[in-house]
Amino acid sequence: AGADLHAMRALGGRAGAEAFIRRVDGLCGAIQAFPGPVVAVCDGPCLGAGLEVAVAADFRVAVEGPATVFAMPETRLGIPSVVQACLIPGLVGWGNARRMLYFGESIDCAMALKWGLVNDVVAPENLEDLIRQWEEKIALTGTNALRSQKALMREWEELGCGREGVEAGVRAFGQAFEGEEIGRASCRERV
C-alpha cells in the first residue's frame, strides 16, 4: 500500500524524515539495480512509497478490482512526493504526473493503463498466465544482452536521449560483440 502514516508522524523532524526517505530510496534503488527484469504486481492500493516501489520496477501489472488504485497522496499530508516519484512523468507524461502529484487523487486500473502507469491489467485468475507469458518472452533473449539493455535503459533515464545517451548506446552495442551470445539461435530470429 504505502508507508505507515503513524510511523511517519513519529519520524522526529528533518533528520528522521530524511533517514526514512533514504531507506525508501535504497529499496527502490535496489529494485532498479537488479540485473534482470523486475515485475511489480499491484493487487490492492498502491499509494505513496508503495507506488514509488512499483515505478522502480521494469514492469507493472495491475490486478483488476475496485481495491487496486494508484495515488501519490503526500501533498494532502503536507509533504511533497520525492525520490522515485521522479520516474512518474516518464511513464504518464508531465500533465498527468502533475495531476497525480499536486492533487493526490487516486486513479483506477483502467486510467493507470490508459496513462501508461501500468503495462497491463489482468483479472486475478489470469495473473499467473500473464507472468508465465512474460517469462517465456524473457527466456528468448540473451542473458547478457538483457542485462546490458536494462543498464542502458537506466542510463537513458539519467542521461536522456541527447548525445550522452546515444554514446552510452554505442558503447553497449560494441560490448555486445565481445560476448558469446551473438548468433544464438533465439537471437537470430527477425524482429
Catalytic residues: 52, 74
Under 8 Å between Cβ of 52 and 84: yes
Which residue in the block uniquely carries the three cell numbers 535496489? 30
Phi/psi region, residue 180 (left: phi>0; alpha: psi -120 to 50; beta: rest), is alpha
Q: How many residues does the chain have?
A: 191
Measured distance CA(6)–CA(160) in Å, rounded: 38
Nearest alpha carbon to residue 91 among 107, 103, 68, 73: 107
Strands 46-47 and 39-42, by their bridges, are: unpaired
